[in-house]
């Protein structure tokens, strides 16, 4: 199946965070691909990925990076596809560096920036699915079912079971 969402990340060390975006998309039945693409260590790979993304059939790009996190912004600079940025939690500054690197884009080149870490990765997956669902009724139904299941799973009892 042709991937509709491309999940890229700056390092293999980002996978533990970014896998949550992949798992969310898998749960919703959205075809996706994953690849390590570093803005700093593999700039040519980033150029090739971002400039070719739309022609390869991708509709949304999710980019996660930590520290001096230029990957989402540079990807957004080279494709008209929507780019969702996930700030990966860094060891030195707990992801504040990643967040500020990704969120403060100059007007004209948007990156939809999510929360730091796992929550951001999950929400990037959900947001990518929601974007695709605007033109895919079956996916919209799967997304609504996912949300309903989540709602049902929230206990009224504040005391944990067991």
Question: Do residues 36 and 66 lie in contact, with contact meaning Cβ atoms separated by under 8 Å?
Answer: no
Closer Cβ to ligand RP5, 97 or 136, answer by number: 97
6, 14, 30, 73: residue in contact with ligand RP5 (rule CB under 6 A): 14
Q: Residues 26 to 45: which contact ligand RP5 by CB under 6 A?
A: 38, 40
Cβ neighbourhood burial of 57 (10 Å; 0-12, 13-18, 19+): exposed
Phi-psi region of 108 (alpha: psi -120 to 50; beta: other; left: phi over 0): left
Closest separation in Å from C-beta 53 to ligand RP5: 18
- Answer yes or no whether residue 11 interacts with ligand RP5 by CB under 6 A: yes
- Answer yes or no whether residue 85 interacts with ligand RP5 by CB under 6 A: no
- Answer yes or no whether residue 67 interacts with ligand RP5 by CB under 6 A: yes
- Answer yes or no whether residue 13 interacts with ligand RP5 by CB under 6 A: yes
Token output for 16: 């533990």
Cα-based distances in Å from 24 to 27, 46, 79, 101, 160: 5, 24, 24, 25, 25
What does the binding site for ligand RP5 look like in residue numbers (CB under 6 A)? Answer: 10-11, 13-14, 38, 40, 65-67, 88
């Amino acid at each position: 199946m042709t991937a509709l969402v491309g999940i890229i990340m700056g390092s293999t060390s980002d996978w533990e965070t970014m896998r949550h975006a992949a798992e969310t998309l898998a749960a919703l039945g959205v075809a996706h691909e994953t690849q390590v693409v570093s803005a700093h260590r593999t700039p040519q790979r980033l150029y090739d990925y971002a400039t070719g993304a739309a022609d390869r059939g991708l509709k949304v790009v999710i980019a996660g990076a930590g520290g001096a996190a230029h990957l989402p912004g540079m990807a957004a600079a080279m494709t008209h596809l929507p780019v969702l940025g996930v700030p990966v939690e860094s060891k030195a500054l707990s992801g504040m560096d990643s967040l500020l690197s990704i969120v403060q884009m100059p007007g004209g080149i948007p990156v939809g920036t999510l929360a730091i870490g796992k929550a951001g990765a999950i929400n990037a997956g959900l947001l990518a699915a929601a974007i695709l669902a605007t033109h895919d009724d079956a996916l919209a139904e799967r997304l609504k079912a996912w949300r309903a299941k989540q709602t049902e799973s929230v206990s009224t009892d504040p005391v944990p079971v067991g």
